[in-house]
Amino acid sequence: MTDTRVRFAPSPTGQIHIGNIRTALFNYLFARKNDGQFIMRIEDTDQKRSTSEFEEIIHREMDWLGLDWDEGPQVGGEFGPYRQSERLDIYEEYVQELLDKDLAYRCYCTPEELEEMREEQIANDEAPRYDGRCRNLTEEERKELEAEGREPVIRFKSPLEEEEIIINDLVHGEVSFSSDVIDDFVIVKSDGMPTYNFAVVIDDHLMEITEVIRGEDHLSNTPKQKLLYQAFGWESPNFAHLPMILGSDRSKLSKRSGEAYVYVSEYRKKGYLPEAVVNFLSLLGWSPSDDEEIFSKAEIVERFSMDRVNKSAAVFDVEKLDWMNGLYIRNKDLETVVDLAVPYLEEEYDIEDESREWLELLVATVRESIDYLAQINDEVAVFFEDLEYEDEEEARETFAEEKVDLVLETLRDRSQELENWEKQDIRAMMNQIISDLPVGGRLFFHPVRIALTGEESGPALFDVAALLGREETINRLNQALDLIK
RNA sequence: GCCCCCAUCGUCUAGCGGCCUAGGAUACUGGGUUUUCAUCUCAGCGGCAGGGGUUCGAAUCCCCUUGGGGGUACCA
ipTM for this prediction: 0.95
Query: pLDDT: is A107 or A248 the higher one?
Result: A107
Whether A255 has a binding-site annotation, put simply, is yes
Mean per-residue pLDDT, A217-239: 97
**pLDDT of A442 over the 80 cut:** no
Mean per-residue pLDDT, A66-86: 94
Query: How many angstroms from the chain centroid is the CA of residue A262?
Result: 7
Q: Is A252 a catalytic residue?
A: no
Q: Helices A470-483 & A404-417, crossing angle to 10 degrees?
A: 160
**pLDDT of A64 over the 70 cut:** yes
Mean per-residue pLDDT, A467-484: 90
Mean per-residue pLDDT, A139-155: 90
**pLDDT of A258 over the 80 cut:** no
Residue A416: in which H helix or E strand, if any?
A: helix A404-417
* Cα gap A424→A378, rounded to integer Å: 26
Mean per-residue pLDDT, A191-210: 97
Q: Where are the domains of chain A?
A: 5-84+245-315, 87-242, 333-375, 392-483
**pLDDT of A158 over the 70 cut:** yes
Equal fold, A87-242 vs A392-483? no
Range of weakest confidence among A281-290, A336-345, A398-407: A398-407
pLDDT, position A455? 86
Judge whether A31 and A4 are in contact, CB under 8 Å: yes
Q: Which alpha helices (H) appear in A148-251, and where do they start and end? A: 196-206, 222-232
Separation between the CA of A279 and the C1’ of B35 (whole angstroms) = 37
Kindly determine whether the C-beta of residue A314 is less than 7 Å away from any atom of nucleic acid strand B: yes
What is the average pLDDT score of chain A?
A: 92
Mean per-residue pLDDT, A148-177: 94
Kindly determine whether the C-beta of residue A312 is less than 7 Å away from any atom of nucleic acid strand B: yes
Q: Helices A461-468 & A356-366, crossing angle to 10 degrees?
A: 150
Q: Reduced to 3 states, what is the DSSP secondary structure of residue A40?
A: strand
A392-483 CATH, one of 3.40.47.10, 1.10.10.10, 1.10.10.350, 3.10.129.10: 1.10.10.350
Mean per-residue pLDDT, A113-130: 86
Indicate which residue of A143, A255, A311, A320 is catalytic: A255
Query: pLDDT: is A137 or A270 the higher one?
Result: A270
Closest residue by Cα to residue A408 from A439, A379, A448, A368: A448
**pLDDT of A256 over the 70 cut:** no
Range of weakest confidence among A214-223, A309-318, A337-346, A419-428: A419-428
* Cα gap A332→A146, rounded to integer Å: 66
Mean per-residue pLDDT, A335-356: 93
Closest residue by Cα to residue A73 from A3, A4, A2, A10: A10
Range of weakest confidence among A52-66, A71-85, A438-452: A438-452
Q: Is the bond preceding residue A81 a cis peptide, omega within 30 degrees?
A: yes
**pLDDT of A348 over the 80 cut:** yes
Q: Of all protein residues, which has its CA closest to the C1' atom of B71? A: A220
Question: Which nucleotide, over all strands, has the C1' atom closest to the CA of A216?
Answer: B70
Closest residue by Cα to residue A8 from A33, A40, A36: A40
Tell me the CA distances in angstroms from A446 to A108, A165, A344, one per residue in order. 81, 73, 30
CATH class (in words) of the domain with range A87-242? alpha beta
Kindly determine whether the C-beta of residue A180 is less than 7 Å away from any atom of nucleic acid strand B: no
**pLDDT of A440 over the 80 cut:** no
pLDDT, position A2? 67
Kindly determine whether the C-beta of residue A128 is less than 7 Å away from any atom of nucleic acid strand B: yes
Helix, strand, coil shares, percent, chain A, to 5: 50, 10, 35
Residue A241: in which H helix or E strand, if any?
A: strand A238-242
Kindly determine whether the C-beta of residue A440 is less than 7 Å away from any atom of nucleic acid strand B: yes
Question: Which nucleotide, over all strands, has the C1' atom closest to the CA of A199?
Answer: B76
Kindly determine whether the C-beta of residue A294 is less than 7 Å away from any atom of nucleic acid strand B: no
* Cα gap A221→A187, rounded to integer Å: 13
**pLDDT of A401 over the 90 cut:** no
* Cα gap A169→A268, rounded to integer Å: 33
Q: Which chain A residues in 131-160 sit with Cβ < 7 A of strand B?
A: 151, 153
Mean per-residue pLDDT, A439-466: 87
Nucleotides in chain B with any atom closer than 7 Å to protein CB: 1-8, 10-15, 23-27, 34-40, 68-76
**pLDDT of A320 over the 90 cut:** yes
Give CATH for domain A5-84+245-315.
Answer: 3.40.50.620
**pLDDT of A1 over the 70 cut:** no
Range of weakest confidence among A28-37, A153-162, A259-268, A281-290: A259-268
